[in-house]
Structure 1
Amino acid sequence: MKPIKQIHNKLIQKCKKHNEKAQLQLYKAYCNAMYAVACRYMKDSVLAEDVMQDAFVKAFKSIHTYKEEVAFGAWLKRIVINTCIDELKKNKPVLVAINEEVITDEVLEDNSWQVDEAVTVSMIKKAIDNLPPKYSVVLNLYLIEGYDHNEIAEIINITPVTSRTQLLRGKKIIKETLKTLSYAEGC
């Protein structure tokens, strides 16, 4: 049996030659994972599916630029994230830079992400989903995708300080939400 990477590489080569069957196979191999990525950014599942499909169209149009320097899934994921962010910018102009406040280094270095033992992953995901997009996008990019503030600033066209501020504000809202949830569940 051939390793999956070899199969995917052959499919990618066929896609570069505009082979529609290969495109469909590659789509089927990655659509569920890319849909999950899109759902982290889009609050509506139908919109997430539309964005994911738009991202695949973009990927197939620019597949000739894929150089195998990173895994195909990582390359595709970046396209999905960028397509989500473009859609958020287009429909909700909330990703503009906020007034930059003076924030002490102590606050910026706050890396305490500890939560109560009763808090579940689904509670955290729900809290992130309920955040305004300007916070949820930064939280997703920072916590889940692993981007730093300079990369986030470049991706969504804000300053690194704004990225940090939105991360901290989002984190504060989530902590308050989780406190409320854990009090409610403890009753």
Structure 2
Amino acid sequence: MFQIDIVEECKANNRRAQLKLYKQYCDGMFYVAMRFLKNADDAEDVIQESFIKAFQKIEQFKGDVTFGAWLKRIVINKSIDFLKAKKQKLVELNEGYIHVAEDEDWSIEENISLDEVRQAIESLPEKYKYVVMMFLMEGFDHSEISQVLNISESACRTRLLRGKGFLKELLKDRRYVSGS
């Protein structure tokens, strides 16, 4: 059965199709939530809420992106909402007046592992951490990140640039980044 057929059956409230989509995406979405929440119980709660919302709003899924990409956005939004509810608020800065030059130099030494990069990202200040995570790890663009975090694209670019700078310094301090 093709994915679009399963989604259409879900739109018709077919419980088997919903279970099939759930089983197909549950593990992957759990890891997305864990990158934000760092707690398995919280991630499971967010995944459950995300799937409930996805099935409630499945009529809004138009197929212009994959179902997985659509669901991932819901999971990330729910994860951030969860963090906000726990008083770990994202600080919105008025950085719109700053023009940021794009810098695509993300070079690091070849011997650094993905886990080491993740650990460094985790130690970033929160306002930069989420932008860097969504850009580097989730593949979101500035427009998508600004919508999810409810910030301007200019603020998104600024936070990414500053977050990248912090990240490079953290990795350089750990002797992972090539000297530039």
TM-score, scaled to structure 2? 0.83
Structure 2 runs not aligned, ≥5 long: none
Larger radius of gyration: 1
What RMSD in Å do the two structures reach over aligned CA positions? 2.3
Q: How far off is 1:10 after superposition?
A: 3.3
1:26-105 equivalences in 2 (<5 Å) = 26-92=21-87, 94-100=89-95, 103=98, 105=100
Specify which of 118, 134, 137 is matched with residue 144 of structure 1. 137
Structure 1 runs not aligned, ≥5 long: 1-5
TM-score, scaled to structure 1? 0.80
Of 174-183 and 120-129, deviating more is 174-183
1:154 partner letter: Q
1:108-187 equivalences in 2 (<5 Å) = 108-182=101-175
Residue identity over aligned pairs, in percent, reads 46
Q: C-alpha offsets along residues 23-77 of structure 1, whole Å, 9 cap, x if unaligned?
A: 2221111101111221222222321221122111100111122222322112211
Question: Measured at CA, do residues 64 and 124 of structure 1 come closer, stay the same or move farther in structure 2, by a change above 3 Å?
Answer: same
Give distance in 2, aligned partners of 1:9 and 1:110: 38
The structure that is helix-richer by fraction is 1
Question: Measured at CA, do residues 13 and 119 of structure 1 come closer, stay the same or move farther in structure 2, by a change above 3 Å?
Answer: same
Give distance in 2, aligned partners of 1:151 and 1:72: 16
Question: Measured at CA, do residues 45 and 150 of structure 1 come closer, stay the same or move farther in structure 2, by a change above 3 Å?
Answer: same
Question: Measured at CA, do residues 21 and 158 of structure 1 come closer, stay the same or move farther in structure 2, by a change above 3 Å?
Answer: same
Q: C-alpha offsets along residues 78-127 of structure 1, whole Å, 9 cap, x if unaligned?
A: 2112212222333335323225386565xx22221111223211110121
Count of residues paired in the alignment: 176
Once superposed, which parts of structure 1, at least 4 consecutive aligned residues long, lie more than 6 Å away?
A: none
Specify which of 11, 15, 20 is matched with residue 15 of structure 2. 20
Of 75-84 and 144-153, deviating more is 144-153
